[in-house]
Amino acid sequence: MTDSHDLVAMSELIEAISLIELCRICGSRADWIIQLVDEGILEPEGTRRTGWRFDSASITIVRKVQRLQSDLDVNIPGIAVVLSLVDENARLKRRVQALDRATQVTIPMPDAPPE
pTM of the model: 0.72
Q: Give percent of the chain above pLDDT 90.
A: 69
- Residue 103 banded pLDDT, cuts 50, 70, 90: confident
Question: What pLDDT is recorded for position 13?
Answer: 57
The answer to whether the beta carbons of residues 60 and 87 sit under 8 Å apart is no
**Domain 4-103 belongs to what architecture?**
Orthogonal Bundle (1.10)
DSSP string, the chain: ---GGGGS-HHHHSPPB-HHHHHHHHT--HHHHHHHHHTTS---BSSSGGG-BB-THHHHHHHHHHHHHHHH---HHHHHHHHHHHHHHHHHHHHHHHHHHHHT-----PPPPP-
Where in the chain are the domains? 4-103
Angle between helices 19-26 and 30-38 (to 10 degrees): 110
pLDDT at res. 2: 40
pLDDT one-digit tens code per residue, 1-55: 444 344 444 445 568 999 999 999 999 999 999 999 999 999 999 989 889 999 9
